[in-house]
Structure 1
Amino acid sequence: MISNASASAEIPLRVAHVVPSIAPRTGGPAFSVLVTVLALNHGGVQAEVFTTDMGAAASAPRLTRLTAADVDPRMTYPIHIAHASHPLRFAYAPAMRKELGRRANEFDLIHIHSLFLYPQYAAFKVARDHEIPYVVAPHGALDPYYRRRGRIRKAITDCVWQRSMLENAAAFHLTAQRELELISDLAPKVPRFVVPNPVDWRDYVDLPDPRTFTGPFLGARPPSSIIMYLGRISQKKGIPALIAAFAKVAPTYPDAGLVIIGPDDEGLTPELRSTAEHLGVSTRTTFIGHLGDRDKRAALAAATIWVLPSATENFAVAAVEALAAGLPVIVSPGVNISRELASLGACVVCEPEPDALAADIAALLRDPDRRLSLGAAGRQAARRFSPESVAAQMVRFYESLLNRTPSGQTT
C-alpha cells in the first residue's frame, strides 16, 4: 500500500485525471473520463481534468480544435485545457506539464488515461518528480490488436519512457475482465483493478420521437426496419463485414435499411460507400456523420437492431448506450464486455463475419418477441454501469491504493 501522511478526515481525496482529448468524436475514453469525474465530485472527491484542445484523435489526418460546444455544460468541475502544437501526432501540449506541475502538490493521486502520447508522458514526469502515486488506464491501448500496429513508434516510446511509466505505476485501471486477461503478460508486478466505464441509463429512458431523426436524415420514406451502427468510423470496427451482411439479408427484407452513424477521422467512408455499391445496397445504406447528443438519442429511438462487429473494443460505451435505450444488440467477441453482457442475456455475441452477422440479423428481424426480450434485458444490464456505481467502485480503488479508510484517514 502507498501511505499518504497528509490525508485527514477533513481533506477529501484529490485526484487529477489526465486525458489527451475530451472531444466527443474521439470516442469512449473522453466520454467516460468526463462522466466519471463528474460522479466522483458528486461523491465528495475533488477531481479535475487536464487535457488538450485537440478536437479529434491524434491519429486523425486533419487537425481540429476543441470548441465550447464540445464540452457538456453539466461538467462544472475544473477542466484545464492546454494548447496542442506540433508534433500533433503526439498531442504535444507543453503547457499541460507546466500547469499540472504547478498544481501537483494539491493532488493525492494522478490518474493517467490512454498511452503513447505526450499528455501521458507529462503526467508521468510530474508524478515522478513530485513523488505522487499514479494510476494508468490503458483504455485498450495494450490489447494485442493494438500492439501489432505502429510497432516502431511504440517501441521507441516504450524504450524512452513508457515502459518505466507502466512498471512503476501504483496500479492499472482496466475497464473489463477481458482487458485484464489480455494484458496479464505486461508489468506483472503492478496491481490491477477492474472498474467499468460509466453510462447513465437514465439518459435513455425517455427518448425523442424517432421521426426527429428519420425525417431529417432518412427522408420522407425511411426504412421500416433500421439496422444501425453508431460509433467512430474506424478500421477496427468491422463495418465492411456489416455492409456485406446487410447485402445478404436485404433481398429477404426489402423494407430494411442500414444506417451507419459516426465521425470518420480515418477517411474510410468513400471506400465503405464503394463496398455498398459493389454489393448492390448503396441505395439502402445511409452514411451519417457525427451526431450531437439529442440527435444520437433520436437515432437510437429509430433503430430496430444495433450492431457492433469490432475486431477489438476495450469497453464499448456506445453498446451500453444502445442497451440502455432498450435495443436488441449484436456485438462481436472482440468487445471486451461481451461475455458479461451475454451472461445476463442482454445481447447476441456474433463473430464479425458476413455470414454469421447476416444469420443473427435475420433471426432478430423475423422475431419481434426476441427483440423485445433482449431489449428488456439490455435495459436492466445497463444499470450496472451507472455513474454513481462506477464512482463508488473508483473511490474504493483509490482508497485501497492510498491506504485510506473510507472516512479519508490514513491507516
Structure 2
Amino acid sequence: MAARRAATIASRQAASGCSRRCSAASPRHADGGTRLRILHVTPTYLPAVRYGGTIHAVHGLAKAQAALGHAVEVYTTNVDGPGVTPTPLGARVDLDGVGVTYFATGLGRRIYRSPAMGVALRRHAADFDILHLHSVYLWPPLAAARIARRHGAPYVLSPHGMLVASLVRAKSALIKSAWIALFERRTIREAAALHLASWREADDLRAFRFDLPPLAVIGHGVDAADLRAEQNITGDVAAAIAGGPFVLAFGRIDWKKNLAALIEAVALTPDLRCVIAGNDEHGRAAELARLCARLGVSARVTIIARQIGEPDRSALYRACACLALVSLNENFGNVALEAMSHGRPVVVSHTAGVAEAVAAERAGVVVTPEAGSIARGLAIIASDVRAAAEMGGRGRAAVERRWNWTAVAAEMVAHYEDVLQQSSMRGVP
C-alpha cells in the first residue's frame, strides 16, 4: 500500500515553496509556511447529518485544515432532507474554526441549485488560493467549477464514490449518463486534480475512460474516540445494547449498503445478534423488517431507523462486538475507521475502499458482499474473542497513527501545494 501511495498521482514536487499564486497572495505562518485560503463547496453540510459519511468527511477535513492554521471556508446550502437546517443564510458562521456560509436553494432544489451561492462564488472565487469541490451530479460543484475556471482559480474535485459505472447503471442510469455527457466530463477534465479516497475508487473511475487530470488518493480520517462511558443514551439504543453482544451495521439504510445480505448472513449464523442503525430516507427499513420475518430472525435483528447522533453513536460503537460494512460499493467507509477508533474489529466487503486499510493493519476480516462470505467473516470474529480483541487493538493503533484528521489534512494541504505549483508552472489553473 505504501508503494502504491508513493506512486500517487500528482507526484510531489521537490521544489521549494508553493505556487506564485499562493506565495504572492497568501499570508504566512510564523514558521514561514504558507497559510492557504481554502474554499470547500459542498451541497450539504452539518447539521444535516442525515446524508451520512460525506458530511462528516468534509467537515473533518475542513476543521483539521483550519486547526493547522489555514483560512478555511465552506459554501453550502441549508437543505436537510425535505426541510432546512436552522442556520442563518448568507452570513458566515464559525463552526470549529471553519467559516461556513449557508445559502437557500431556488428552482431546482433537487439538484441543490442556489442562485445566491452562485452570486457569492462569482464575487469571491478569486479570493481563494484553491477550491475543493465535493460531489457530482449536483449544481453546487458544477457552478463552482465553471466559475473557478473563469476566475483562474484551480479546483480539486472529490466525487465521494459517486462515479462508479455499476452504480450508475443500477440507479437513474439515463439521467446520470446524460449529466455526465453534458456537464461532468468537462468538470473532471478541467479540474486541477481529482481527490479519491481509495485505490478502489480510482479503479472505479478509470472504468469510465474519462480524460482524467492528475489523481490523488488520500483517505479520510476520524476524530479520536471518546472511550468514556456514555450518559443519557436514548431508550431504543439502550434496549438494543442491553440485549447482549451484537454486530453493528451503522449508516444510511440504503440499497447500496447491502443490508439484505447481512440479514441473510445472520440467518446462517446461529445465536448472532445484529443491530442496524441509521437514517432511512426511502422506506427500506420496512423491507428489511419483512425479510427478517421471512427468515425467522426478527428476534435477533434490531433496526433503529432514524438519525443517530451523540451520545447514541459512541454508545453503539462501544457496545458492539464488531462492525459490519458489507456495501456493494464504498469509495471509503468512514464507519469502519470509527469502529476501529473504538477498538472494535470490522468485517468489511472487498468492495469498500477502506478494505485496503483493514487488510493491511489486520484490523478485521475482508469478505465478499454475499451472505455466505459475510457469515463466515462474522463467525471468525465470534469464535475467537481474544483474536477479535487483538484485531480491535491493531485497528485503534492504526487510526491513531495514520487515519487521524490532522495527518489526513496535512497530506491534503501538501497536495494542494503541489496543485498550485503545477498550475503556476503551466500559467493557467
Report the TM-score when normalising by structure 2: 0.85
SS of match in other structure, 2:76: strand
SS of match in other structure, 1:111: strand
Pick aligned residue for 1:50 from 75, 82, 85: 75
In structure 1, distance between residues paired with 2:255 and 2:94: 32
- Give yes or no for contact 1:259–1:287 (8 Å, CA) kept in 2: yes
Q: Deviations over 1:298-327 (max 9, x none)?
A: 111111121011000011111100011111
Give 1:401's aligned residue: 419
**How far has the Cα of 1:385 moved from its partner?**
1.2
- Give yes or no for contact 2:137–2:176 (8 Å, CA) kept in 1: yes
**How far has the Cα of 1:49 moved from its partner?**
0.5
Alignment of 1:163-182 (within 5 A): 163-182=185-204
The verdict on how the C-alpha distance between 1:86 and 1:281 changes in structure 2, with shifts beyond 3 A counting, is farther
Alignment of 1:11-410 (within 5 A): 12-22=35-45, 23-56=48-81, 63-67=82-86, 75-148=96-169, 149-185=171-207, 186-200=209-223, 202=224, 204-209=225-230, 213=233, 216-219=236-239, 222-250=242-270, 253=271, 256-288=272-304, 289-383=306-400, 384-403=402-421
Q: Deviations over 1:191-229 (max 9, x none)?
A: 1111111211x2x141424x8658653539932221111
**How far has the Cα of 1:156 moved from its partner?**
2.3
In structure 1, distance between residues paired with 2:95 and 2:342: 21
The verdict on how the C-alpha distance between 1:361 and 1:240 changes in structure 2, with shifts beyond 3 A counting, is same
Q: Deviations over 1:86-142 (max 9, x none)?
A: 433211211111112221221111111110101112111211221211111111111
In structure 1, distance between residues paired with 2:80 and 2:274: 28
In structure 2, distance between residues paired with 1:3 and 1:161: 30
In structure 1, distance between residues paired with 2:292 and 2:127: 54
**How far has the Cα of 1:366 moved from its partner?**
2.2
- Give yes or no for contact 2:94–2:100 (8 Å, CA) kept in 1: no
In structure 1, distance between residues paired with 2:300 and 2:308: 20
**How far has the Cα of 1:75 moved from its partner?**
2.4
SS of match in other structure, 2:44: coil
The verdict on how the C-alpha distance between 1:145 and 1:90 changes in structure 2, with shifts beyond 3 A counting, is same
Q: Deviations over 1:260-281 (max 9, x none)?
A: 1000112101100000011111
- The one-letter code matched in structure 2 to 1:385 is W
Give 1:408's aligned residue: none
SS of match in other structure, 2:275: strand
The verdict on how the C-alpha distance between 1:220 and 1:175 changes in structure 2, with shifts beyond 3 A counting, is closer
- The one-letter code matched in structure 2 to 1:51 is T
- The one-letter code matched in structure 1 to 2:139 is Y
- The one-letter code matched in structure 2 to 1:282 is S
**How far has the Cα of 1:381 moved from its partner?**
1.8
Give 1:407's aligned residue: none
Give 2:427's aligned residue: none
Structure 1 residues not aligned, in runs of 5+: 57-62, 405-411
- Give yes or no for contact 1:207–1:298 (8 Å, CA) kept in 2: no
In structure 2, distance between residues paired with 1:158 and 1:328: 38
SS of match in other structure, 1:128: helix
**How far has the Cα of 1:331 moved from its partner?**
0.4
**How far has the Cα of 1:181 moved from its partner?**
2.3
Name whichever of 114-123 and 352-361 sits farther off.
352-361
The verdict on how the C-alpha distance between 1:369 and 1:191 changes in structure 2, with shifts beyond 3 A counting, is same
Structure 2 residues not aligned, in runs of 5+: 1-12, 14-18, 29-33, 423-429
In structure 2, distance between residues paired with 1:207 and 1:334: 33
In structure 2, distance between residues paired with 1:371 and 1:178: 26
- Give yes or no for contact 1:315–1:337 (8 Å, CA) kept in 2: yes
Paired residue total = 389
In structure 2, distance between residues paired with 1:213 and 1:291: 10
In structure 2, distance between residues paired with 1:177 and 1:27: 21
Name whichever of 145-154 and 94-103 sits farther off.
145-154
In structure 1, distance between residues paired with 2:178 and 2:291: 37
SS of match in other structure, 1:112: strand
SS of match in other structure, 1:275: helix
SS of match in other structure, 2:83: coil
SS of match in other structure, 2:246: strand
**How far has the Cα of 1:340 moved from its partner?**
2.6
The verdict on how the C-alpha distance between 1:207 and 1:266 changes in structure 2, with shifts beyond 3 A counting, is farther
The verdict on how the C-alpha distance between 1:73 and 1:50 changes in structure 2, with shifts beyond 3 A counting, is closer
In structure 1, distance between residues paired with 2:220 and 2:44: 16
The verdict on how the C-alpha distance between 1:220 and 1:232 changes in structure 2, with shifts beyond 3 A counting, is closer
SS of match in other structure, 2:98: coil
SS of match in other structure, 2:302: strand
Over aligned residue pairs, what C-alpha RMSD do you find? 2.3
In structure 2, distance between residues paired with 1:304 and 1:205: 17
The verdict on how the C-alpha distance between 1:79 and 1:214 changes in structure 2, with shifts beyond 3 A counting, is closer
SS of match in other structure, 1:225: coil
